[in-house]
Structure 1
Amino acid sequence: MLPRLLLGPHRVLLAAPPLRRLRLARRAMSSAAAPAPAQRRRPLRGVVFDMDGTLTVPVIDWPAMHREIFGGETAYAAARAAGGGTIDILHLIESWGPDLQRHAYEVIARFEREGLDRLQIMPGASELCKFLDAKQIRRGLITRNVKDAVDLFHQRFGMPFVPALSREFRPYKPDPAPLLHICSTWNIPAHEVIMVGDSLKDDVVCGKRAGAITCLLDETGRYGPHDSLPEDVKPDFMVSSLAEVFTVLEKHFDLEQTKYYDGR
């Protein structure tokens, strides 16, 4: 009788006839030596970018603009406190009367016009776009800025994004509608698209609500470590520069599948 310690496959192996025992041993060695299959990477069909602070260097002094809209520091601080520390100025304005709305939009338009004169492309943006073009990955744009700013961006830097949705498209981010519109135009499911932006409350939330992959660009570390972010706004990826997006795409996605895909 075999000892009780010889259990499972070892017991079967020792109890078998010599020839069959040799075959079983070879089969077991072959199985143990076989490498585990590589984890399959997800296909990526499109990348959608925010513009201000993502494709272009931030140039608008948002606190100064908000202070002028609200009529001073005290009213601005009260509005921030009421919003939990943040202000979604476009949605807030929609709830105001006609005169207040007119004043607010005039202030925003002036700050945006002044920002256009200082428009600069973000380091790494041109190289990233060339990389996406080489991989035949579609690229789109969603911004809460006006169409004039998008047109100037296209004209000045020669990097067209299609579709490019500006503030004239309603509803705005963080509503998922603009991102879902782009996915529908491309005929690509949202889970095969990544949303890249510098705002948790606008870009990341928009992407998550649409069911897309999300990547937060945090150049200055203002949001803190990735693990410290609340789950409802935590992006799938977090980078400190557009150059790091290359690593994210190449490491986590199968970019070759896009070459055989026609999303029209």
Structure 2
Amino acid sequence: MCNFSALTSQLFVQSPSNLRATPQIPLMQLLCPRAIFFHTRRSFSSMATSTAVSSAVKTKSTLRGVVFDMDGTLTVPVIDFPAMYRAVLGEEDYVRIKSENPSGIDILHHIEKWSPDKQKRAYEIIADFEKQGSDRLQIMPGASELCGFLDSRNIRRGLITRNVKDAVDLFHQRFGIIFSPALSREFRPYKPDPAPLLHICSNWDLQPNEVMMIGDSLKDDVACGKRAGAYTCLLDETGRYDSPEYKNVEFKPDYKVSSLVEVHKLLERDFNLPPRSHK
């Protein structure tokens, strides 16, 4: 009989994001089928979309939960982030930091290093930009339909955003689509740290490899998902992540789509999903 506890204790010596398939996996699958969850990985593809990044999925894993980013994923992008970064950092520092971080600026990380007074002013500027975005809030095409599909398959839905709780509450109120848990930047540490995603997995009593993180940011959403050991899907509406500056990023998604409409089919194609709800 398989000693599953012994095997899993060895598997968790490394963080899930660093695990890779080994020649021993086929035998392990025969002995303990669930062990495959800790090894299944795909490579990034710059091709458009809704295709698994590797040529084929040899073994379908079971997907029981999906966690979404909010701004630019569940909602249409309306915040002018470059303008916000310039307002917070100043033009000179913005240009310098942007050149040092071509794949994106983590503005919250920079603010954390500042004095309390300077932090207060920075957060006021960010709040003003976010308020302007909230006033123009629109749901992303395909989001409502995708959530309906997940509900029909009894797949849990969660949300992780670096926006504030008020913005999450507004989303829930305006569109009537509730995510639980729904973690805002008041939850620390926030993305790209894996803590919020691991918190949701624990809340759901699921392993990270039974969950997918969907978002529009390589540096926040994909990094968070990969570090937690979850599947990741990058929403890239415009193809901006095909640019050379993103070629050598540390974390690359398992899937890439140009629209949330594509997610429905890839989930049915590449994963075992719970039975349909008969409600």
**TM above 0.5:** yes
Aligned with 1:236 (options 222, 244, 254): 254
The corresponding residue for 2:25 is none
Residues 88-237 of structure 1 mapped to structure 2, 5 A cutoff:
88-224=106-242, 229-230=247-248, 232-237=250-255
Q: How far did residue 82 of structure 1 move? A: 3.3
How many equivalent residue pairs? 220
Q: Which amino acid aligns with 1:181?
A: H
Distance 1:165 1:258, change over 3 A: farther
1:64 aligns with 2:86: no
Q: How far did residue 85 of structure 1 move? A: 5.3
| In structure 2, C-alpha distance between the alignment counterparts of 1:149 and 1:190, rounded to whole Å | 26
Q: How far did residue 158 of structure 1 move? A: 0.4
Distance 1:131 1:68, change over 3 A: same
- Gapped regions of structure 1 (runs ≥ 5): 1-37, 260-264
Distance 1:134 1:99, change over 3 A: same
| In structure 1, C-alpha distance between the alignment counterparts of 2:175 and 2:125, rounded to whole Å | 27
State the structure with more CA Rg. 1
Distance 1:255 1:98, change over 3 A: same
Q: Which runs of 4+ in 1 moved over 6 A?
A: none
Q: How far did residue 139 of structure 1 move? A: 0.4
Q: How far did residue 146 of structure 1 move? A: 0.2
Aligned with 1:43 (options 38, 51, 62): 62
| In structure 2, C-alpha distance between the alignment counterparts of 1:248 and 1:50, rounded to whole Å | 18
TM-score between the two structures when normalised by the length of structure 2: 0.75
| In structure 1, C-alpha distance between the alignment counterparts of 2:267 and 2:70, rounded to whole Å | 19
| In structure 2, C-alpha distance between the alignment counterparts of 1:110 and 1:187, rounded to whole Å | 37
| In structure 2, C-alpha distance between the alignment counterparts of 1:46 and 1:230, rounded to whole Å | 29
RMSD, aligned CA = 1.9
Structure holding more helix per residue: 1
1:54 aligns with 2:84: no
TM-score between the two structures when normalised by the length of structure 1: 0.79
Does structure 2 retain, via aligned residues, the 8 Å contact 1:197–1:203? yes
**Cα deviations by residue, 1:195-222 (Å, 9 ceiling, x for unpaired):** 0000000000000000000000000000
| In structure 1, C-alpha distance between the alignment counterparts of 2:129 and 2:193, rounded to whole Å | 24
Q: How far did residue 131 of structure 1 move? A: 0.3
- Gapped regions of structure 2 (runs ≥ 5): 1-56
